[in-house]
Structure 1
Amino acid sequence: MEHVAARRPADHARVLGYWTRERMARALPIDLLDGVSRGGLLGGVTGRSGLTTAPGLSHGALKLLPRPRAGAAEQQPRAGAAEQRPHAGAVERRHQSARPQFITAGSRWTTGGAVTRTTGRVFMTLRGVDFVCSAGTVRSANRDVVVTAGHCVKDGTGAWAENWTFVPGYREGGAEPYGRYAARRMFVAGPWSRSADDDYDVGMVALTTWADRHVADAVGAQEIAFNTGRGGQAFGFGYPADPPYTGEHLVYCAGKLRDDPHGQTRDQGLGCDMTAGSSGGPWLSGFDHATGWGTMTSLSSFKYSDDRRTMYGPYFGDTIKTLYTAAERA
């Protein structure tokens, strides 16, 4: 499925101008979508602190799914998101050493390298409310493609996002060292658009240029691969924005991938306590921590309700490869 976003230079300017510093600071992690749209969540709330995740959420960032009954995975319905609150006194985890950890459930990335440029924050509007996700650039023929979660582009069977903007290398305080890029064409897989199928929770976006430069020319682009072997080591990156994180820093998880033990999806799991806002952040295999380069083979998509320390990401197979081909030709 394809959606044309900002068509003309005037559209590009309008989208980029929409995101004032104040709007960016107020944007919410997208898993709050259903509660916001019903109008009951934001009454009297002036900041992100204290927000609860809406019940009845059918799809959205870091959605929490129920564990199936034994032998009944295919009949188990998907549940709404549950509240994610840190334990008392929790603070954002900080990895102070420049040497990265190869097993971590959530640490600040302080090593530098290409990944600090190719990963960024996404700002978008859905149903009239502003939200945030994460995304990463990948090598493409048009030098314009970023990959994120499908629910950061289109609300499953519902609306496409508006005002979609990518800020590569986002830094604390709203710094934009490499500019900002508006979406011109957006793509999701058919199974995601028709039924919000988590196996296909992938979105690809072809961007406009910034200061006459393609995003890949400005910040570089990670490799992307399809139909790779399952398992192995992966590094997942993103900008988690719900407590104990703030959305202001690039955070990473690292460890061995494993299949979904509940059999509900073909996704793979990564030990990771990143929260909403990290959705769509890239998972890199064959990652070289010294240079910050790797190969994108998945992304942050969802968690199960009884296992908040495991993030699941979709497998990049033939359908996602077809999606990528369409995006790089846009």
Structure 2
Amino acid sequence: MTPSLPMLAVTALAAGLLGAPSPEVPPLGDVVEHVAGHASGIYWTPQRMARAVPVKLLGGTPPVLPPVVGAALTPAAGSALVPGHTMRPVARTGTTRTTQAGRTDRTRQAAAMPPATTSGTRWAAGGSVTRTTGRVFLTLNGVDFSCSASAVRSANRDLVVTAGHCVKDGAGAWAENWTFVPGYDEGRQPYGGFPARRMFVAGPWSRSGDDDYDVGMVAVDDLDGQHLTDAVGGQPIGFYPPRGRRTYGFGFPADPPYDGERLLYCAGVPHGDPQGQTRDQGLRCNLTAGASGGPWLSGFDPASGRGTLTSVSSFKYSNDHRTMYGPYFGQAVRDLYRTAERA
């Protein structure tokens, strides 16, 4: 286990494998699976959700950093789409207007766009990301916690991607009462909560809590007969992304000065781990515990709220309060995805 701080409550393309898995079909690569116990329909009351806390100590790791007010960010990884989707620069079309009214229109449009570099800003631009990103509520070792996560495109149309420590306590226990609430906003649950049915982490995370593999994937139940991505959509997922591309990281930080009730984001350009202890990339980001598992989207279009999921918020070092790290989506995460999307 590297000396990192898991934050809870904090170019190959994906090849989809259709159909449900059978007991004879082993996982692709080193993947560990868990059949989730169904969360009671009445367990996650608004009161329990309000009391859920970001984890302060997970296994034998150091405690989560104290709240950090004000920090500058940069997000992670590059771009690779699931088959059939090509990443392109956002094109601005139409005839250029030269009138004063036209200049005013363009000025207003530019002013309305969210900052492309920020260490922590409320996301108010709408779009797909407000539906596909949500909060996760779970119980671990008898304590109720919250995380962040994203719905992704998958063969089963039911897949959620988050941090590994939002699914399993490293070599310890699996989470219980695991429920994904997409589109969460100040207590509102416009699409309801989707409980877990099968959970997946990479072997190195399950055996030793290796931060390079701090990724969890969860296949959720249908809700009233509707698949998750049929209800809210899903971001494409990418593997082997180019490093150092501008990325937007989203989540629901729940430690002060935040309260977990609103979607926030960081945006910038990532860098490697200067301490050399992981292959992760670091973002200058002041989001606190509760943002764990939130999606890092590269090739992101603020106008539509769509991008490619290429990492998730994972940890901060105790001697660097301002940088969030996220694992690199290579072969292990690709195997994890290809196994989980069959569930």
- Which whole-Å deviations, capped at 9, do the CAs of 1:249-307 have from their partners, x for residues lacking one? 00000000111011000000111000000000000000000000000000100011121
Note the residue ranges of structure 2 that are not aligned, 5 or more in a row.
1-31, 71-110
Number of the residue aligned with 2:22: none
The partner residue of 1:19 within 28, 41, 44 is: 44
Number of the residue aligned with 1:206: 219
Q: Segments of 4+ in structure 1 off by > 4 A?
A: none
Number of the residue aligned with 2:9: none
| Mapping of residues 265-284 of structure 1, within 5 Å | 265-284=278-297
Q: Scaled by the length of structure 2, what TM-score is found? A: 0.77
| Mapping of residues 1-330 of structure 1, within 5 Å | 1-6=32-37, 11=38, 14-30=39-55, 32-34=56-58, 58-59=60-61, 80-81=62-63, 83-86=65-68, 98-172=112-186, 174-330=187-343
Q: Percent identity?
A: 65
**Distance in 2 between residues matched to 1:313 and 1:81, nearest whole Å:** 18
Q: Does the aligned pair in 2 maintain the 1:16–1:181 contact within 8 Å? A: no
Change (3 A) 1:235 1:167: same
Point out the more displaced range, 224-233 or 280-289.
224-233
1:82 positional shift: 5.0
One-letter amino acid of the structure 2 residue matched with residue 128 of structure 1:
G
One-letter amino acid of the structure 1 residue matched with residue 67 of structure 2:
R
**Distance in 1 between residues matched to 2:154 and 2:183, nearest whole Å:** 19
1:86 positional shift: 4.8
Q: Does the aligned pair in 2 maintain the 1:16–1:180 contact within 8 Å? A: no
- Which whole-Å deviations, capped at 9, do the CAs of 1:21-61 have from their partners, x for residues lacking one? 1111100102x245xxxxxxxxxxxxxxxxxxxxxx634xx
Partner of 1:218: helix, strand, or coil?
A: helix
Q: Scaled by the length of structure 1, what TM-score is found? A: 0.80
1:231 positional shift: 1.0
One-letter amino acid of the structure 2 residue matched with residue 253 of structure 1:
C
Partner of 1:107: helix, strand, or coil?
A: strand
Number of the residue aligned with 1:67: none
Q: Which has the higher contact order (CA 8 A, sep 6+)?
A: 2
Structure with max Cα Rg:
2
Partner of 1:322: helix, strand, or coil?
A: helix
Change (3 A) 1:83 1:325: closer
